[in-house]
Amino acid sequence: MNESKPDKSIRILAIESSCDETAAAVVADGRQVLSNVISSQIAVHREYGGVVPEIASRNHLLALTPVVEQALADAACTLDDIQAVAVSHGPGLAGALLVGVSYAKALAYARQLPLIAVHHWQGHVAAIEIEHRLEPPYLALVVSGSHSGLLLVGEQGGRLLGCSHDDAAGEAFDKIARALGLPYPGGPEIERAAAGGDAAYVDFPRAWLPDSDDFSFSGLKSAVLNYLHHREQLGDPPRADEIKHIAAAAQQAICDVLSWKAVLAARREGLKQIVLVGGVAANGCLRRMTAERAAEQGITVSYPAPVYCTDNAAMIGVAAYRQYAAGDFADMRLNACPRLPLPVLAAGGAAEQ
């Protein structure tokens, strides 16, 4: 193993390949993003209306080496300047994760560098630290294509307050967009389509799940599909000029539930800060609604820049730094864990096992 150099900055090469983004980043001292390279496969998967796991794995294989080389070049470093290799090892698509995990293990072994296994959610939560200086405790709403959850991030640790019973928020955006004839990924497409739309055009249901911090979005998805089918059965399918209204109504229904539940949970737990992270946190409607409702309760809301909301490796490098400092290293038995459970979170997103 290379000796860590406390007098010099610790540079971590981080890798992310859990879904359809092949990403690598170099992060110094857990804060400074020296490079952040993302090779997106969106154009490839768009043809199929969603991510095809086998195609994702093959594209990660093709993209990963050039992406890592670019991340090193952008950071003006070579592998000699790197003190550890970090990788997102779950949850995610098994084959996609395996590409990143195998690459990181091989690199760590060949260079005799410590290997750091990062939970993908912890990466999303850590993304807030790139541009914000937040003191725990705070509430994190983690919303992406594969997960929706409310986490209480505290000074000594953290806990999962609630998560989705069925579809994740991003999945709901993606499936509703598909039903509306909008391309993948659906979230940004719905947001674009909804601009200028009337959110009161259709009153879609909200699954409030009272007395619970859990979410459910499959009922909303069915309600949108039923609405569209019903219109077709009446011989009056939605006209092109109505899509913006239906998109606005669906977006409102998703953001209404996410923002209220986050604010209610924060108020109940006596928290003064909410952070929105994950791909859906890039949504302007969610940001506005949460900020307005939180302000009424004296709660502030922060979110990363959009590039750090959707999947990226910089967030993995930030989360990995705490694990580096704690000596929390993986060994060559590390495997991809598609359903990796959430470890107890320490302040700033680091794990307490």
Binding-site ranges for ligand KG4 (CB under 6 A): 19, 144-146, 170, 173-174, 185-188, 191, 278-280, 282-283, 310-311
Site string for Zn ion, 172-201 (x = CB under 5 A): ------------------------------
Choice between 252 and 312, CB closer to Zn ion: 312
Q: If binding is defined by CB under 5 A, does position 311 make contact with Zn ion?
A: yes
Q: If binding is defined by CB under 5 A, does position 83 make contact with Zn ion?
A: no
Query: What's the closest the beta carbon of residue 278 comes to ligand KG4, in angstroms?
Result: 5
Q: How far apart are CA 272 and CA 280, in angstroms?
A: 22
What is the total residue count of the chain?
353
Choice between 186 and 348, CB closer to ligand KG4: 186
Choice between 121 and 204, CB closer to Zn ion: 121
Question: Mutual orientation of helices 169-179 and 186-194 as an angle, nearest 10°?
Answer: 70
Choice between 72 and 345, CB closer to ligand KG4: 345
Query: What's the closest the beta carbon of residue 303 comes to ligand KG4, in angstroms?
Result: 11
Greatest CA separation found in the chain?
72
Are the CB atoms for 170 and 143 separated by under 8 Å?
yes
Handedness of CA 129, 133, 138, 141 (dihedral sign): negative
In this structure, what token pair is assigned to residue 218?
């499959």
Q: How far apart are CA 138 and CA 87, in angstroms?
A: 25
Q: If binding is defined by CB under 5 A, does position 16 make contact with Zn ion?
A: no
Q: In the complex, which residue's CB is closest to Zn ion?
A: 144
Are the CB atoms for 183 and 46 separated by under 8 Å?
yes
Pseudo-torsion of CA 254, 258, 264, 270, nearest 10°? -170
Q: Of these partners, ligand KG4, Zn ion, none, which one is at the site of residue 167 (CB under 5 to 8 Å by kind)?
A: none
Instruction: Let me know if 232 is exposed, middle or buried by CB neighbors in 10 A (0-12, 13-18, 19+).
Output: exposed
Choice between 127 and 152, CB closer to ligand KG4: 127
Q: In the complex, which residue's CB is closest to ligand KG4?
A: 187
Three-class secondary structure of residue 305 per DSSP:
coil
Choice between 108 and 126, CB closer to ligand KG4: 126
Stretch that binds Zn ion, among 128-136, 174-182, 185-193, 307-315 (CB under 5 A): 307-315
Q: Of these partners, Zn ion, ligand KG4, none, which one is at the site of residue 256 (CB under 5 to 8 Å by kind)?
A: none
Q: If binding is defined by CB under 5 A, does position 144 make contact with Zn ion?
A: yes
Query: What's the closest the beta carbon of residue 102 comes to ligand KG4, in angstroms?
Result: 20
DSSP3 helix / strand / coil % (the chain, rounded to 5): 45, 20, 35
Query: What's the closest the beta carbon of residue 311 comes to Zn ion, in angstroms?
Result: 4
Nearest Cα to Cα of residue 219 among 172, 260, 258: 172
In this structure, what token pair is assigned to residue 243?
């899509």
Choice between 19 and 253, CB closer to ligand KG4: 19
What residues make contact with Zn ion under the rule CB under 5 A? 144, 311
